[in-house]
């Protein structure tokens, strides 16, 4: 039995408010616990989007009643909400900026709209940029010009990891995360995913891009799921929305990589606990741990998951490493396939 600290996923979409048929704070935090994750940071591209005090309250009130693991809620950068003082940022996980192709209404195309957010958002709180390729380069330049930290969400390309490496070597305050689907799937080998099911932003990249992420593992600060649940019916429709669920598959996929010597347990702890805790200023979780059966071999099945979306891009994958038990703040929150933490047990990390 392997004992890990409570793991942190800094990038999930819990769909509350507005699309709770896909997921809500209850089902999403249950999926997190089943995946060995004890803190989730939720993205603001909901309906309505989370961008001011009222909308933040909508999400936080739902979370307070329903969450089964600890959580934080991001606010989104919009065209008219860049006059940040201290109040709202103190209650939010951080600021999310959508600088590129995405699902939802929070996209900021014009760079003049980026400027006041980089200038005004408190510098001790993270800005997370959804940016790809050249927009990612622009986000790093903004971090350098305004001398503040920026965290690049879900990197997927060789050019991205190489530029981040160079920026870090020059002292620019940039950190980044990578998602399991960009480490285990490519656009050359989608393991039989149909068109709708392979839709995700950033798109699956080439084998060469995937290889370069593995080769530059030391540049990557965090693993994050970008858990983006859309129902299987929506994914198989004529207009499939982009996004993969990931909370229940991240740990078994990475533990399988550990069993194949492609990764180490200290790497995993650093990128799923130590680094996200530091980057996002998260509190300690006393008496919290995850027990894993490192040798359990099993098949990933959507039918056994707690996410409401009812599918996974890793259906049928054989993995090694199963979460047996999660203890969260002294209480057994998950054991042998059952969620034991009640709705409302989860705490706001900015509480």
> Which residues would be at the binding site for Zn ion (CB under 5 A)?
226
Cβ proximity to ligand NCD: between 241 and 252 the closer is 241
E strands, 99-206, are 127-130, 150-152, 174-178
- Please give the structure tokens belonging to residue 34: 């089943």
Residue least distant from Zn ion (Cβ): 226
Spatial separation of the C-alpha atoms in residues 334 and 118, rounded to whole Å: 40
- Does 197 contact ligand NCD by CB under 6 A? no
Q: Does 226 bind ligand NCD (CB under 6 A)?
A: yes
Residue with Cβ nearer ligand NCD (149 or 196): 196
36 interacts with ligand NCD by CB under 6 A: no
240 vs 230: CA distance, rounded Å = 9
Give the number of residues written for the chain. 351
Closest distance of CB 13 from Zn ion, Å: 6
Q: Convert residues 233-262 into a mask of x (bound to ligand NCD by CB under 6 A) and - (unbound).
A: --------xxx-------------------
Among 103, 214, 289, 298, binds ligand NCD (CB under 6 A): 103
Is residue 45 involved in binding ligand NCD (CB under 6 A)?
A: yes
149 lines the binding site for ligand NCD (CB under 6 A): no
Instruction: Using the minimum distance from each CB to ligand NCD, give the nearer residue, 50 or 328.
Output: 50
- CA atoms of 223 and 268, how far apart (whole Å): 8
Residues 6+ apart with CB under 8 A from 288: 5, 6, 38, 327, 328, 329
Q: Is 239 exposed, middle or buried (0-12, 13-18, 19+ CB in 10 A)?
A: exposed
When asked if residue 135 is in the footprint of ligand NCD (CB under 6 A), the reply is no
DSSP string, 61-120: HHHHHH-SSEEEEPEEP-TT-----SHHHHHSS-EEEE-SS-SSS-B---HHHHHHHHHH
Q: How far is the CB of 130 from ligand NCD (least distance, A)?
A: 6
103 binds, among ligand NCD, Zn ion, none (CB under 5 to 8 A by kind): ligand NCD
Contacts of 177 (CB under 8 A, 6+ apart): 10, 11, 151, 152, 153, 154, 155, 220, 221, 222, 223, 224
Size of the site for ligand NCD (CB under 6 A): 12
Compute the least distance from the CB of residue 199 to ligand NCD, in Å. Answer: 7
Residue 201 is a binding residue for ligand NCD (CB under 6 A): yes
CB of 44 to ligand NCD, least distance (A): 10
Closest distance to ligand NCD from the beta carbon of 106 (Å): 9
Judge contact between 153 and 202, C-beta under 8 A: no
C-beta closer to ligand NCD: residue 76 or 89: 76
48 prior amide bond cis, ω within 30: yes
204 binds ligand NCD (CB under 6 A): no
Of these partners, Zn ion, ligand NCD, none, which one is at the site of residue 321 (CB under 5 to 8 Å by kind)? none
Partners of 343 in the β-ladder: none
Q: Where is 38: in which H helix or E strand?
A: strand 37-42
Closer to Zn ion at the Cβ: 100 or 226?
A: 226
Q: Can you tell me which of 102, 175, 212, 312 binds ligand NCD, judged by CB under 6 A? A: 102
Q: Would you say the C-alpha torsion 40, 44, 46, 47 has a positive or negative sign?
A: positive
Phi, psi (deg, nearest 5) at residue 40: -120, 140
Nearer to ligand NCD by Cβ, of 68 and 130: the residue is 130
Which of ligand NCD, Zn ion, none does residue 256 bind (CB under 5 to 8 Å by kind)?
A: none
Query: Which spans of this chain sit near ligand NCD (rule: CB under 6 A)?
Result: 13, 45, 102-103, 130, 200-201, 226, 228, 241-243
């Amino acid at each position: 039995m392997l004992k890990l600290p409570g793991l942190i996923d800094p990038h999930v979409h819990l769909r509350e408010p507005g699309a709770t048929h896909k997921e809500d704070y209850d089902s999403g935090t249950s999926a997190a616990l089943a995946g060995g994750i004890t803190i989730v940071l939720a993205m603001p591209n909901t309906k309505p989007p989370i961008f001011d005090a009222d909308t933040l309250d909508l999400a936080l009130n739902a979370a307070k009643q329903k969450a089964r693991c600890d959580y934080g809620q991001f606010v989104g950068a919009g065209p008219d909400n860049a006059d940040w003082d201290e109040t709202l940022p103190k209650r939010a996980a951080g600021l999310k900026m959508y600088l590129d192709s995405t699902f939802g209404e929070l996209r900021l195309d014009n760079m003049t709209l980026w400027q006041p957010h980089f200038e005004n958002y408190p510098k001790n709180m993270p800005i997370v940029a959804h940016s790809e390729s050249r927009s990612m380069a622009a986000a790093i330049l903004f971090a350098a010009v305004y001398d503040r930290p920026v965290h690049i969400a879900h990197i997927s390309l060789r050019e991205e990891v190489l530029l981040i490496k160079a920026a870090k070597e020059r002292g620019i305050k940039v950190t980044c995360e990578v998602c399991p689907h960009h480490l285990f799937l490519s656009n050359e080998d989608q393991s039989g995913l149909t068109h709708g099911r392979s839709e995700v932003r950033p798109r699956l990249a080439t084998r060469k891009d995937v290889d370069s992420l593995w080769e530059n593992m030391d540049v990557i600060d965090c693993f994050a799921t970008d858990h983006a649940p859309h129902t299987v019916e929506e994914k198989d429709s004529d207009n499939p929305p982009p996004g993969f669920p990931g909370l229940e598959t991240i740990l078994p996929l990475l533990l399988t990589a550990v069993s194949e010597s492609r990764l180490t347990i200290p790497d995993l702890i650093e990128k799923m606990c130590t680094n996200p805790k530091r980057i996002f200023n998260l509190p300690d979780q006393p008496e919290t741990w995850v027990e894993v059966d490192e040798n359990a071999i099993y098949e990933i099945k959507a039918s056994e998951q707690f996410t409401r979306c009812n599918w996974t891009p890793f259906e049928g994958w054989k993995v090694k490493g199963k979460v047996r038990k999660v203890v969260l703040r002294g209480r057994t929150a998950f054991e042998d396939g059952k969620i034991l933490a009640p709705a409302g047990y989860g705490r706001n990390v900015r509480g």
